[in-house]
C-alpha cells in the first residue's frame, strides 16, 4: 500500500451519498454528478399516466387548434398539451402507435387527425386518380375561367384537404400515390379536356392550316392576315394564327419551314400576297382592260370607281398604274395605265398621246 494513504484520513462513508438512480453523466469528464430534484419532474410516489381515449385526444387537439390556429403536427410534438396534466403530444403519439394507456395501437396522432378532422397527413396521403384531378380542374375552370397549371396561384385546391397543384403535378410526374409515372397536369388536361399544352404541341399540316383558313373565310368573308395573329382558331385547341405563322416560317411541329401563311394561301387559294406579288406584263394588263371595257362599257383608269380587277387575285387599277410608273413587278417604268391604253387601244386621255 502506498505510504501516503496512511497519512490521509478517509471517512468510512461519504456524506449524503448520491443514489445510483439519481446520477447522470452530463459533465465534461463524464464523472457522476447528482441531479437536483428540482430539475426533475416532481411526481407523487406511485404516479402512473392516466388512461387515454380518442374523444379526449380529439378534444385536446381541437382546443390546441382553436388557441393557436394550428393542429399538433410532428414539429410541435415537444409541446405540452394545454389543459392536460403532465401530457405531451409526443407521449400521446407514442401511446397511439404502441397501444399504451388503453389505446388499441397501430395509429398515430397525424393519422387520427386526418381521419377525424380531415387534417393533411404527409406520411399517409390518400391515393389520387385522374378522375379526381379532372374534377378539381373542372371546378377551378368554372370559378376562374381558365385551366389550372402547376404554378397556379393560389396553389391550394379547394375541397381537397390541403392538396396543391404543384404537388399533384409532382405526383403525376414521379408516379406517386397510385398514379402512373411520366404524366403531368398539363398533359392530362390536353388529353382529356383539349387544353393547349405548350410543351407538347401536336404536329401541324398544310392541309389542316388551309382547312382553318377556309373556315375563317366562310365566317368573315376574308382570309386570315397578320392583324389576326392573336385570334384563337375555333376548333383548334387553342391555336392562334401567330403560332401557325411561326411554325410555317421556322419549320416547327412537322412543317418544312421557309413558308408563310400569306404564301401558303397565295399558292393554294390564290389569295393576293402583298409581300410576294407576281410579275406584271403589259399584255396581261391589256387583257384585264379589255374585259373591263366589255363589262362596264368604258376603259379603266387609275382612279375609276371599279378598282378591283376581276380574275386578278386582288389586283387594283391604282396599283397597276403605280407599277407602270415606278417600274415595279417586272415593268420598265416611266409609263402609266393611261399611256398604255392610249398607245395600244387608242384611248384618248387629256395630255396623253395616242397611237403614233
CA distances for 160 relative to 51, 132, 136, angstroms: 34, 10, 8
User: Does the pTM of the predicted model rise above 0.75?
Assistant: no
Better-predicted residue by pLDDT, 350 or 147: 147
Which has more pLDDT, 15 or 187? 187
d(C-alpha 62, C-alpha 71), whole Å = 8
pLDDT at 295 over 60: yes
pLDDT number for residue 30: 46
The CA distance from 224 to 212, in Å, is 9
Distances (CA, A) of 138 to 28, 145, 146, 193: 64, 10, 9, 9
Contact 23, 74 (CB under 8 A): no
Average pLDDT taken over every residue of the chain: 85
Please give the Cα distance from 252 to 234 (Å, whole number): 21
**pLDDT above 50 (res 285):** yes
pLDDT exceeds 60 at position 35: no
Q: If residue 264 lies in a helix (H) or strand (E), which one and from where to where?
A: helix 261-269
Coil, helix or strand at residue 352? strand
pLDDT digits over 82-141, tens only? Answer: 888 888 999 999 999 999 999 998 999 999 998 898 888 888 888 999 999 999 999 999
pLDDT band at 57 (very low <50, low <70, confident <90, very high): very high
Q: What is the pLDDT of residue 73?
A: 86
Mean pLDDT of 142-158: 92
pLDDT confidence of residue 272: 82
Chain centroid to CA 125: how far?
A: 24
Amino acid at each position: 500500500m502506498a505510504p501516503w494513504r496512511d497519512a490521509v484520513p478517509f471517512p468510512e462513508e461519504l456524506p449524503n451519498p448520491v443514489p445510483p438512480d439519481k446520477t447522470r453523466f452530463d459533465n465534461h469528464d463524464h464523472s457522476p454528478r447528482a441531479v437536483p430534484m428540482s430539475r426533475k419532474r416532481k411526481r407523487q410516489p406511485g404516479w402512473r399516466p392516466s388512461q387515454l381515449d380518442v374523444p379526449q385526444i380529439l378534444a385536446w387537439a381541437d382546443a390546441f387548434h382553436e388557441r393557436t390556429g394550428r393542429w399538433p403536427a410532428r414539429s410541435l410534438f415537444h409541446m405540452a398539451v394545454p389543459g392536460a396534466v403532465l401530457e405531451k403530444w409526443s407521449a400521446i403519439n407514442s401511446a397511439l402507435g404502441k397501444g399504451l394507456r388503453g389505446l388499441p395501437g397501430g395509429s398515430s396522432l397525424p393519422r387520427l387527425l386526418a381521419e377525424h378532422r380531415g387534417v393533411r397527413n404527409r406520411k399517409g396521403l390518400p391515393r389520387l386518380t385522374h378522375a379526381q384531378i379532372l374534377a378539381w380542374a373542372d371546378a377551378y375552370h368554372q370559378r376562374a375561367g381558365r385551366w389550372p397549371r402547376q404554378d397556379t396561384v393560389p396553389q391550394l385546391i379547394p375541397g381537397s384537404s390541403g392538396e396543391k397543384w404543384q404537388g399533384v403535378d409532382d405526383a403525376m410526374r414521379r408516379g406517386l400515390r397510385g398514379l402512373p409515372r411520366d404524366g403531368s397536369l398539363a398533359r392530362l388536361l390536353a388529353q382529356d379536356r383539349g387544353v393547349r399544352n405548350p410543351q407538347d404541341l401536336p404536329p401541324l399540316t398544310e392541309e389542316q392550316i388551309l382547312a382553318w383558313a377556309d373556315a375563317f373565310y366562310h365566317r368573315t368573308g376574308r382570309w386570315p392576315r397578320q392583324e389576326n395573329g392573336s385570334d384563337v382558331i375555333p376548333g383548334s385547341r387553342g391555336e392562334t394564327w401567330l403560332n401557325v405563322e411561326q411554325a410555317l416560317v421556322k419549320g416547327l411541329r412537322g412543317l418544312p419551314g421557309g413558308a408563310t401563311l400569306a404564301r401558303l394561301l397565295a399558292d393554294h387559294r390564290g389569295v393576293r400576297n402583298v409581300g410576294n406579288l407576281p410579275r406584271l406584263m403589259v399584255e396581261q394588263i391589256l387583257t384585264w382592260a379589255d374585259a373591263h371595257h366589255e363589262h362596264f362599257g368604258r376603259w379603266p383608269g387609275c382612279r375609276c370607281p371599279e378598282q378591283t380587277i376581276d380574275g386578278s387575285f386582288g389586283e387594283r387599277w391604282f396599283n397597276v398604274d403605280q407599277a407602270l410608273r415606278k417600274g415595279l413587278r417586272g415593268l420598265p417604268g416611266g409609263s402609266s395605265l393611261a399611256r398604255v391604253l392610249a398607245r395600244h387601244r387608242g384611248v384618248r386621255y387629256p395630255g396623253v398621246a395616242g397611237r403614233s
